[in-house]
Each structure stands twice: as C-alpha cells, then as structure tokens.
Amino acid sequence: MSNSGDNSHPSGAHSLDEILSQPQCWSAILEDLQQDKKLHSVAKRSRATEWLFIGCGSSYYVALSAAAAMERLTGLRSRALPASEILLYPDVVSPGAGNCVPVLISRSGQTSEVVAAAEALETRGIPTLAITCASGQPLEEFASETILLSRADEKSTVMTRSFSSMLLTLQALAAVIVGDAGFLDSLSFMSQAVDPLLRSLPETLRAFVSGRDFDDYVYLGQGPFYGLAREGALKVTEMSASYAQSFHT
C-alpha cells in the first residue's frame, strides 16, 4: 500500500523497501543522536519520576512498547495512553505533575488528536517531548522539545521503519537516562544482526504461505512485546485486508 502516486512502482514496493531499509535507518539515527547529543540533553534536563507516552493507532502501539521498556530499564513509572484520553479525560495527567513528562508520538507531526493533546498540555503549563519523522509540522509548535527522525520518514501509507525507529529512539533514551552503556551498544549491534535476516525474510515468508489459505492471523505478546503484537495485527489488516487479532500471550 502506497500513497505516493508513482505508478512505476508495483503495489507495496515502497513498503517492502522501507521494511528492508530498517537496519541502515537505525544505524543512521543512532549516529545522528550520538552526534547531536539530543538524548543526553533531554535526559539531563528531565527530572522525571513518571513518563507518559501518547499516540494514536500505530503511534499508540509505539507508546505501549516504549512505556514498558522505559519502566523496565529505568524503574520509573511509565504509562501509555491514546491521545483522545488526554482530551476527554484531562485529569489522567495530574494538573501539577511537574515530574511527569508526556511524550507525544506522531510520524507525520500532524495527527489531529496528538496535536490537540500537545496544545492542551501546553495550555496547562506541562512541558512535553515530541518524537516525529517530519519537520515543520504543527506538533513541533506546541511541544516543549522535539526529537526529529527525518531519516525514518516514509512514502508508504502504513508505518514500518518509522514505527521501529521511534521505538528504538525511546528505548535509547531510557538507556541514556540510567547510563546503561551495554544496552546502547546492543541497539547499535542490532542493526548488523538484523540486516541479513531481513534480506532473506521475503522468500522465507513466500515459501511459508505458498499453498496455504489462512483465515485468521493471531499475534501474541507480553510486556514490551504486547504493543508489537497490536502493531503486527494492524499491519496485516492494513496491508492485506486480512482478519487479524492480538492478545496477551
């Protein structure tokens, strides 16, 4: 599925290219973050005792996994909420929560509910951190600080490398907060380890589905993997109009 309007590419070509480019994208993003010290500056200025990750759709699933990873790595209380909760039930963020950092997640920086949540939090004087893949968008206007991952932006309608790149960045932020150099090193090594696996994956999957007719796809996950299960089911639905479900294991 693609929204590029480029008829020279077969259906799904952009998505496949973006999926396969993930290891290179991760390496480039980690290098950029290391050079500009963005994560270190965010961690240094933040005295957070609680992190609140906010998004819609796929970005909410990033939030679920990021919250679980943040709490596990740092021991700090971490939650994930759909952006509409901030708008309809604003008391979910304590009015005087000076030690709570809301993290607003949107690939495009234009997601209407996320932008509205950012504006509402700004009005209440609560500093926020945005993470996005597109510059110069409304989300930046209302966020106190923005982590921009322009290398992860996509031509496809569905999120693939933007999802994994934003999650990777938030995991790296958690590691920086507690000074876990070993975990940061493992994120860097992951790019090298995953690249050859991804290259052979399309043929492996084609062989697996050949001659089989599946009626239902079920994704299972616990803890930091539950958000990934939700996202996996959504991707199958979005990209192939197949029926898919997600559950805790």
Per-residue pLDDT tens for 159-182? 999 999 999 999 999 999 999 999
The pLDDT value given to residue 2? 39
The pLDDT value given to residue 183? 96
Same domain for 161 and 66: yes
Same domain for 242 and 157: no
Same domain for 109 and 144: yes
Other beta carbons within 10 Å of 155: 15
> Whole-structure pTM over 0.75, yes or no?
yes
Q: Take residue 242 and report the two structure tokens written for it.
A: 């197949």
Other beta carbons within 10 Å of 28: 16
Picking from 62, 105, 110, the residue whose alpha carbon sits closest to that of residue 86 is: 105
Residue at 205 is within a domain = no
Same domain for 140 and 249: no
Residue 168 CA, chain-centre distance (Å), reads 7
Picking from 134, 118, 116, the residue whose alpha carbon sits closest to that of residue 126 is: 118
Confidence of residue 96 (pLDDT cuts 50, 70, 90): low
Q: What is the DSSP letter of 107?
A: S
Other beta carbons within 10 Å of 240: 12
Residue count of the chain: 249
Q: Which residues pair with 102 in a beta bridge?
A: 52
- 36-105-234 Cα angle (round to 5): 125
Contact 73, 178 (CB under 8 A): yes
Residue at 209 is within a domain = no
Task: Say if residue 43's pLDDT is above 50.
Answer: yes
Residue at 102 is within a domain = yes
Same domain for 175 and 105: yes
Distance CA(208)–CA(205), nearest Å, equals 5
Task: Say if residue 239's pLDDT is above 50.
Answer: yes
Confidence of residue 5 (pLDDT cuts 50, 70, 90): very low
Distance CA(18)–CA(25), nearest Å, equals 9
Locate the DSSP E strands across the chain.
50-55, 77-82, 100-105, 129-132, 145-148, 217-220, 244-247
Distance CA(113)–CA(106), nearest Å, equals 10
Number of domains comprising the chain: 2
Domain that holds residue 117: 19-197
